[in-house]
Amino acid sequence: MRKIKEEIERNNQNILKRKQIEKDALQVILLENEKKKQKEKEEVELERLEDIKVTKNNIQRIDKQDQERNNLFINKMRKPNPVTHDLIQNVLKEMELKKKFDEEKILQYEAERDKK
């Protein structure tokens, strides 16, 4: 009977040891899962920061291209264009001739009016 009690006691101790081992193993797994989650969070944050950096660089590059385009346009507009210059001169001459013609007409009208 004593041997049976000792056997039962050993079996109970073995069961308790197995339960403790399983519990320790589960704790290790839970701790590893927690570390994995934390590492994934950090990686996501690093990726987010890298995306922000890349986006800022792209914005700066696009702003620089826009500024260069604007500068090119401004320089083209400031640079005299012979064809445009000639057209402007012709228009100005025509306007001056029309102005003289109109002034002469006014003078003729006033002269005729004064005669009457």
Position 110 in a domain: yes
Position 89 in a domain: yes
CA 26 to centroid of chain Cα atoms: 46
Which residue is listed with tokens 């700066």?
A: 60
> Which of helix, strand or coil describes residue 1?
coil
- At residue 46 the predicted structure's pLDDT band, cuts being 50, 70 and 90, is very high
Domain total for the chain? 1
- At residue 53 the predicted structure's pLDDT band, cuts being 50, 70 and 90, is very high
63-108 pLDDT, tens digit each: 999 999 999 888 877 777 777 778 889 999 999 999 999 999 888 8
Domain residues for the domain of 100 are 81-116
How many angstroms separate the CA atoms of 93 and 99, rounded?
A: 10
Confidence (pTM): 0.48
Position 108 in a domain: yes
Alpha carbon dihedral 64, 69, 70, 76, in 10-degree steps, equals 150
11-28 pLDDT, tens digit each: 999 999 999 999 999 999
